[in-house]
Amino acid sequence: GMCAGVCPTGSITPKFETEKVWNALNDKKKTVAVQIAPAIRVAIGEMFGLEPGEVSTGRLVAAMKLLGFDQVYDTSFAADLTVLEESTEFIDRKTKGEKLPLFTSCCPAWVKFAEQFYPDLLGNLSSCRSPQQMFGSVARKTLPEQLNVKNEDLYLVSIMPCTAKKFEAQRDEFKTDGHRDVDVVLTTQELGMMIKEAGIDFSGLTPESLDMPMGFKTGAGVIFGVTGGVSEAVLRFAAEKLTGKKVAETDYNQVRGNEDIRETEIEIGDIKLKLAVVHGLKNARKVAEMIRAGECDYDFVEVMSCPGGCIAGAGQPFSKDYNYKQKRQNGLYVSDKGLQLHKSQDNPYLQSCYADALGGEPGSHTAHELLHTKYKTRRRIESDHIEIGSEDEAKIS
């Protein structure tokens, strides 16, 4: 690969990363817990002959237990948490008319891009950590007691659809006492390689259940993996929060689809929300330029760097199927429908998580300490080449 041998950019070869996980799994002192991002479940099966979009969460859990993982959790749990924190922040800004539009911050490639090219817009980025990192801090805070393990013996792995998530987990902001919250991030392909190395017949596995409580999620936390999903999840929250009433409707078809930039205006009570859903950094640049020039009045902008969203991340299996994106996207919408709850605010385990560990409610002081972050301006590189994870970023103020 591009970083074989001594790596000048500080990124790490896949081989080394899977080896780290094998070592942790073989270390009897370690308790190894893993989170799987929403996009993984509709793609990993393709490495074992399944169709794109086939939801294989249960087989994924079974495979990981065979590999020796002690606990298998769902990043979607933390995506539900992100919805609560981000929507609370959004409604607050909208009410005050401040720092709008609010840009989403769950895609680290977009965050890095904004830090490099649009430092003047950083105040508009949501201060929320991504679901991966929210999971990391909640796990560090709650699992040692729950699993009766010392924090230094708790090894946290993430399975993510892209390498940008590897660099995110290395950021200084996501360390506690100098120690990374998430120890190692593997891509879908790397996990698939481990499953193959172990000789596991993935497609023939009997499905198993995710572990509790951080394996429990609503459908809102699952659709995060598709472009438009974060916006839809936020709307499911805002519709009830702004009206104070239960809303039966959960589907917002306006934000679904694959157009480069999807604009939509939604009325909730007497409040009008103007949203833009953007995927692909080329399109993100277009929207950022328009906002810089004061040419649009969006309240909320969702940005995913990968065209199609995380389901099409570069760490996902390579597909020869012409319609693979649509099939994987559809898989996540099917998965949403297959769950009983569709709104993050209805997740009962999140409610107890707030009560026990997060200061009682979204936006609390503790929630801010554990679930939010700050951004830094990076040197503006005068080319179209985006160096994600370049080491010199740390020196730039």
DSSP letter for each residue of 200-269: --GGGPPP-PPPTTTT---HHHHGGGSTTHHHHHHHHHHHHHHHSS-------GGG-S--SEEEEEEEET
Is residue 86 flagged as an active site residue?
yes
Smallest gap, in angstroms, from Cβ of residue 337 to ligand SF4? 22
Is residue 107 flagged as an active site residue?
no
Smallest gap, in angstroms, from Cβ of residue 76 to ligand SF4? 14
* C-beta of 287 vs 353, nearer to ligand SF4: 287
Is residue 168 flagged as an active site residue?
yes
Element (H, E) at 78: helix 75-96
Smallest gap, in angstroms, from Cβ of residue 198 to ligand SF4? 25
Smallest gap, in angstroms, from Cβ of residue 294 to ligand SF4? 27
Is residue 3 flagged as an active site residue?
no
Number of residues that bind ligand SF4 (CB under 6 A): 13
* C-beta of 77 vs 354, nearer to ligand SF4: 77
Smallest gap, in angstroms, from Cβ of residue 130 to ligand SF4? 7
Give whole-number Cα distances, 249 to 232, 236, 242, 343, 384, in Å.
11, 8, 15, 10, 42
79 near ligand SF4, rule: CB under 6 A: no
Burial of 184 (0-12, 13-18, 19+ CB in 10 A): buried
Euclidean distance between CA atoms 40 and 75, whole angstroms: 10
* C-beta of 309 vs 389, nearer to ligand SF4: 309
233 near ligand SF4, rule: CB under 6 A: no
Euclidean distance between CA atoms 395 and 25, whole angstroms: 35
Is residue 98 flagged as an active site residue?
no
Is residue 165 flagged as an active site residue?
yes
Exactly one of 67, 164, 220, 222 binds ligand SF4 (CB under 6 A); that residue is 164
Burial of 301 (0-12, 13-18, 19+ CB in 10 A): buried
161 near ligand SF4, rule: CB under 6 A: yes
Smallest gap, in angstroms, from Cβ of residue 25 to ligand SF4? 25
* C-beta of 162 vs 242, nearer to ligand SF4: 162
DSSP, collapsed to helix, strand or coil, labels residue 159 as strand
* C-beta of 109 vs 138, nearer to ligand SF4: 109
DSSP, collapsed to helix, strand or coil, labels residue 3 as coil
Euclidean distance between CA atoms 236 and 246, whole angstroms: 10
Four-residue CA torsion sign, 172, 178, 181, 185? positive
Residue whose Cβ sits closest to ligand SF4: 313
Is residue 175 flagged as an active site residue?
no
| Cis ω for the linkage preceding 119 (within 30 of 0) | no
Phi, psi of 290 (to 5 degrees): -65, -40
Beta strands in the chain (DSSP E): 31-36, 71-74, 102-103, 154-160, 175-176, 179-180, 184-187, 261-268, 271-279, 300-304
DSSP letter for each residue of 299-342: SEEEEESSTT-GGG-TTSPP---TTHHHHHHHHHHHHHHHSS--
What residues numbered 53-72 form the site for ligand SF4, per CB under 6 A? none
Exactly one of 162, 266, 278, 284 binds ligand SF4 (CB under 6 A); that residue is 162
* C-beta of 38 vs 143, nearer to ligand SF4: 38
Is residue 126 flagged as an active site residue?
yes
Smallest gap, in angstroms, from Cβ of residue 303 to ligand SF4? 8
Which of 54, 106, 112, 241 is the catalytic position? 106
What residues numbered 85-144 form the site for ligand SF4, per CB under 6 A? 107-109
**What binding mask, one character per residue, do residues 298-337 give for ligand SF4 by CB under 6 A, x or -?**
------xxx--xx--x------------------------
In the complex, the residues that contact ligand SF4 under the rule CB under 6 A are 107-109, 161-162, 164-165, 304-306, 309-310, 313
Which residues are catalytic, by number?
86, 89, 106, 126, 165, 168, 173, 310
